[in-house]
Amino acid sequence: MISLPDEAELAIRAEGERAYPDECCGALLGGFDGESGKIVKAILPIGNSSETAERFHRFTIGPGDFMRAEREAKARNMDLIGFYHSHPDHPAEPSDYDLEHALPFYSYVIVAVEQGAASGLTSWEMSADRARFLRESQNQGQNLEAPPRTPQGDQSP
Ligand SMILES: [Zn+2]
């Protein structure tokens, strides 16, 4: 289970909208609670280091980014507990690419960004056999389920 405070969730949504039509990505910093699992306390945006041509659909966190995120977490007395990225115009479900590049234990938060507006947000963890992602429950989950899609043409400012 992961606890994602509204503030962190809003920040991830905003990152996704800012990066659109590219993917955004970043690290989840926080800690552990015996009862509720991971607790996100801060997010750390990471520059998308994929090749420019692929940036719109391939988030990549390089080894340098990874180390920087761990250092940043330590400096704030937190742990690196996962990563987030956006899916521009795709559902908030992990792709095969995501699974290939995932690591066990960490949480992977995905936010769908449709036409520039953040919509569904989900969290995933790798199964023990690394064969698939398991949807991770969230204890402040009122926003975790994909909200009803707004009808096309509703372009609120
Ligand atoms: Zn993805």
Report the b/e string of 107-127 with b at 16+ CB within 10 A. Answer: bbbbbbbbeeebbbbbbbbbe
**pLDDT on residue 142:** 39
Report d(CA 22, CA 5) in Å as an integer. Answer: 25
**pLDDT on residue 85:** 94
Q: How far is CA 90 from CA 29, 78, 86, 109, 118, in A?
A: 25, 31, 9, 14, 11
Domain membership of residue 88 (yes or no) is yes
| Chain Cα centroid distance, residue 136 | 12
**pLDDT on residue 48:** 63
**pLDDT on residue 37:** 87
94 Cα to the center of ligand 1, angstroms: 5
Q: Provide the domain count of the chain.
A: 1
Domain range for residue 122?
Answer: 2-143
Interior angle at CA 24, CA 58 and CA 105, nearest 5: 75
Domain membership of residue 153 (yes or no) is no
Domain membership of residue 150 (yes or no) is no
Could you read off the pLDDT tens digit of each residue along the chain, which spans 157 residues? 899 999 999 999 999 999 999 899 999 999 987 766 899 999 999 876 665 555 555 666 778 888 999 999 999 999 999 999 999 999 999 999 899 889 888 999 999 999 999 999 999 999 989 999 999 988 764 343 444 455 555 555 5
85 Cα to the center of ligand 1, angstroms: 7
Domain membership of residue 97 (yes or no) is yes
Domain membership of residue 78 (yes or no) is yes
89 Cα to the center of ligand 1, angstroms: 11
92 Cα to the center of ligand 1, angstroms: 8
Domain membership of residue 13 (yes or no) is yes
**pLDDT on residue 143:** 40
**pLDDT on residue 53:** 54
59 Cα to the center of ligand 1, angstroms: 7
Domain membership of residue 149 (yes or no) is no
75 Cα to the center of ligand 1, angstroms: 28
31 Cα to the center of ligand 1, angstroms: 24
CATH number at residue 136: 3.40.140.10
142 Cα to the center of ligand 1, angstroms: 22
**For the whole model, what pTM was predicted?**
0.82
